[in-house]
A = this chain, B = another copy of it.
Amino acid sequence: MPDTDYIQMWFQEIQDRISAFLSVEDGSPCLEDRWDYANGTGGGITRIWENSVLLEKAGVNYSAIQGSSLPPSAATQFQVSEGTPYTATGVSLVIHPHNPFIPTIHMNIRYFEAGERWWFGGGVDLTPYYPVHGEIVQFHRALRALCDEYEEDYVTHKKACDDYFFIRHRNETRGVGGLFFDHLCADLEKHTAFVMALGTAFPDLYRPFIRAHRDRPFTPAQREFQCYRRSRYVEFNLVYDRGTLFGLQSGGRIESILMSMPAVASWRYNWTPEPGSPEAELTEYYLKPRNWLAE
């Protein structure tokens, strides 16, 4: 079996590096909560930036928990009997900046053990409000380079991301995708290296978006559009996201699970953007699975 301590040490290191990155970009320290897992053993460290300079709401969470009974959402998926004892550890983050020109981003890297089985999962995906085409292409290029380096298949993980982060009832993707993978269990050393590389690469993946747009002025209408689109983020996370469901079903720490929620989300009945506007282009062009590297 894999060396769980080593994996946990790496995950904590990644949380530290990403936290340092965000604190530097934001110019503010985080709020840190250390917590125990109420429904088993273990716990985690949640770091939050809220209503600070750059970040409207951002959280980077590390957890390492042991439970006596795998919840149904995970059991079905991995063909492990419901009720098998399990270990779950990982880093999960969601960043909602104030400025609507900076995309929201989510990353998760995780490791599970249940019975005799172990596997890695995770991914990263980007949810822009006012995307810049070249920046999206660059983001995907960086992800492909990372996959190539660790002999992971970019095309497979990119497609899995488009499939997973799809809001069925809206017939649109959550954002412009990225990578999504689960149940990596073929080669311990290779998967460990890949997952840790993704975590380590995070600041370089996201920094360009911050630097390009952090000082760009925006209008109240652009801010409203951002809040409106954030309601789609809420819809995805509460209706479809397996991580969120796993957390709710396993009696996880609610505030750490729902740190992914934006500070403000708004719903307007049957609203549609002006034809030809950047707001219309977002759904018509960007929120569909696309081969970014062919464009």
Taking beta carbons and an 8 Å cutoff, which residues of A are in contact with B? 31, 33, 48, 50, 57, 59, 168-170, 227, 231, 234-235, 238-239, 248, 254-255, 257-259, 261-270
Contact = CB atoms under 8 A, between A and B. Distances in A.
Nearest to A227: B264
A54 to B, nearest CB: 16
A168 B39 CA distance: 14
Nearest to A48: B269
Contacts of A231: 261, 265
26 contacts: A33-B270, A48-B269, A50-B269, A57-B267, A59-B269, A168-B248, A169-B248, A169-B254, A169-B257, A231-B261, A231-B265, A234-B238, A234-B265, A235-B238, A235-B258, A238-B238, A238-B239, A239-B239, A239-B248, A255-B269, A258-B267, A262-B267, A263-B267, A263-B268, A264-B265, A265-B266
Identical copies of this chain, number: 2
B254 A50 contact: no
A86 to B, nearest CB: 19
A293 to B, nearest CB: 32
Q: Please indicate which of the listed interface residues A170, A264, A266, A270 has the most CB atoms of chain B within 10 Å of its own CB.
A: A270
A245 to B, nearest CB: 8
A191 to B, nearest CB: 31
A265 B261 CA distance: 10
A263 to B, nearest CB: 6
A102 to B, nearest CB: 19
Q: Please indicate which of the listed interface residues A33, A48, A268, A269 has the most CB atoms of chain B within 10 Å of its own CB.
A: A269
A225 to B, nearest CB: 14
A264 B264 contact: yes
A258 B259 CA distance: 23
A5 B115 CA distance: 57
B265 A259 contact: no
Contacts of A169: 248, 254, 257
Contacts of A170: 254
Contacts of A255: 269-270
A250 B263 CA distance: 31
Nearest to A254: B169
Nearest to A265: B265
Contacts of A235: 238, 258
A186 to B, nearest CB: 33
Listed from nearest, the 3 A-B pairs whose CB atoms lie closest are: A238-B238, A261-B267, A255-B270
Q: Please indicate which of the listed interface residues A170, A227, A255, A266 has the most CB atoms of chain B within 10 Å of its own CB.
A: A266
Q: Please indicate which of the listed interface residues A168, A231, A257, A267 has the most CB atoms of chain B within 10 Å of its own CB.
A: A267
